[in-house]
Amino acid sequence: MNQCAMAVLEEYPDIVFSYGYGDEYSFVLKKTSKFYQRRSSKISSVIVSFFTSVYVTKWKEFFPLKELRYPPSFLSQIVCCASLEILQAYLAWRQRDCHVQNQYNTCFWELVKKGGKTEMEAQEILKYAKEQDRNELLHQQFGINYNDTLALFRQGTCIFKTEVEDIVKYNEDGTPVKRLRRKAGIFRSENIAGRRFWNAHASLLKELGNFSEDCFKTNPDYIRSFLFESKLMPSTWIVIRIDGCHFHRFADVHEFNKPNDKQALDLMNLCAVAVLEEFHDIVFCYGVSDEYSFVLKKDSQLYQRRASKIVSAIVSFFSSMYVMKWKDVFWKKELKYPPSFDGRAVCYPSNEILQDYLAWRQVDCHINNQYNTCFWSLVKSGKSKSEAQNYLKGTQACEKNELLLKEFGINYNTLPLMFRQGSSIFRVKRENPTLLENDASSVEKIETKIVTEHCNIIEQSFWEAHPSILN
Ligand code: GTP
Ligand code: MG
């Protein structure tokens, strides 16, 4: 977790402080940040996506003998702190939670592992135990002084950048040439919201300001009041669209075929199938290039329709899957760096408008693909990129098809359907439902299967042929 947070800090310069423990991390962006024009959905989805990607990428480094059994995913949300005092209270609240949880868990596992109690018994013993009681229990029964246990678990971890001196080279006389560089480092303190810790770090004072008073007691309800989450309009189709971040670079670094890389698209499709399997409320997925749209049914109550939870869950799961499945698709290509995706949620009130949305994405797929096919054919034939661009300026669809046919012998309509129409993924009813025996007591009937098709979804006939998708 800490290494992933460190990578996040290195990746996004606007993050000036982070604090984490257990399975959570908070990242603080500076007040003046213009990151993604402060669009909350983009900011939170990109960070959670990158974090997840790094987590999966780094797994082997930390658990060389353990297989990652399924894709981990994280939820994210934005909290705006109107003043430094509120940020201070927020941090105090998170660190208090870290302490309370860790103290409880330390007692619980001592009771189970050394005290011979069952998990139920341990739970019962700790039910009404106060903070002081727990410390005494640890001390008297197990000889543990809680304050001597690992600070990593007790206090959590802060990560922020400080200026360090780097030796960049040596002069001829052997004297080192030093330069100041901002580098992320790990810091711990009993009280991260205290003046002593905070005001002692020049970089925190510079980026965020100083704490004028200590924060003694926080009221969690007060802090939670800043955690409001917007909910998506009821009884509307929810579309979550994710899109690869800077995929022009990602595609170049990984030498994707131009303009379309079948393996890259296969990987996107594999991940989308996994998303459909994981989130039962998703009824339809449509993907093209580095983007995927996931349609959730109108009456979905997933995360009580909280936008940030739904977006982050899907984008994080997708990113996780992308890294995990990379080797299945690109067995000879190494993943050079962790990819990330942004995500957003849009509600569509009627079937017609939802279909218009999907048609818009498919039209986009066609226009881009036709343009890119021409563009790269021209470039491959010796034109420079700007010549190719000028050549295609203002050309109509039929002219582009003619160019492809006459100059390059390519009949556009015979190019792979996946490139021309994108990929649609949905469930269809099985003609012969199969019985799946999980264990002796439960026999599950599998009535649907997931299919990936490359078909025209603009025409009404597709929806008429698959009435169960939208009904
Ligand atoms: P942002 O989404 O704004 O972060 O930038 P982006 O670089 O991801 O651009 P955008 O999403 O608009 O477009 C996707 C880009 O991904 C394309 O312009 C291509 O550069 C690249 N890409 C997607 N699919 C393929 C592919 O199959 N082959 C190649 N070579 N590139 C692809
Ligand atoms: Mg993109």
CATH 3.30.70.3000 occupies which residues in the chain? Answer: 1-38+80-226, 237-434+441-469
Q: Give whole-number Cα distances, 165 to 158, 178, 183, 206, in Å.
A: 21, 6, 10, 18
Q: How many CA atoms lie within 13 A of 452 on its CB side?
A: 19
Query: What kind of architecture, by CATH, is found in domain 237-434+441-469?
Result: 2-Layer Sandwich (3.30)
Query: What kind of architecture, by CATH, is found in domain 1-38+80-226?
Result: 2-Layer Sandwich (3.30)
pTM of structure: 0.94
Ordered DSSP codes for 126-193: HTT--HHHHHHHHHHHH---GGGS-HHHHH-EEEEEEEEEEEEEE-TTSPEEEEEEEEEEEE--S-TT
Q: How many CA atoms lie within 13 A of 128 on its CB side?
A: 0
Between the two ends of the chain, the Cα-to-Cα distance in Å is 42
Residue 457 is given by DSSP the state -
CA of 439 to the centre of ligand 1 (A): 45
Query: For a pocket test of ligand 1, which of 37, 243, 248 has the largest count of ligand atoms closer than 8 A to its C-beta?
Result: 248
CA of 162 to the centre of ligand 2 (A): 32
**Is ligand 1 within 6 A of the CB of residue 242?**
no
| 87 within 8 A of 192, measured Cβ to Cβ | no
pLDDT at 434: 72
pLDDT at 307: 97
Tell which atom from ligand 1 comes closest to the C-alpha of 290. Answer: 23
pLDDT at 441: 60
Write out the E strands in 22-135: 24-29
Residue 465 burial (C-beta neighbours within 10 Å; 0-12, 13-18, 19+): exposed
Listed residue (454, 447, 440, 453) closest to 468, CA to CA? 447
* φ, ψ dihedrals at 161, nearest 5°: -90, 140
pLDDT at 259: 94
Q: Are strands 176-187 and 157-170 parallel, antiparallel or unpaired?
A: antiparallel
Q: Give whole-number Cα distances, 219 to 18, 84, 86, 231, 401, in Å.
A: 21, 16, 11, 25, 66
pLDDT at 219: 84
Closest Cα to atom 5 of ligand 1: 246
In the chain (471 residues long), the average pLDDT of successive 10-residue segments reads: 97 97 97 95 97 98 97 96 93 95 96 96 95 95 94 97 91 93 94 95 94 85 84 97 98 97 98 98 98 98 97 98 98 97 98 98 97 96 95 94 94 96 95 69 75 98 96 88
* φ, ψ dihedrals at 280, nearest 5°: -70, -20
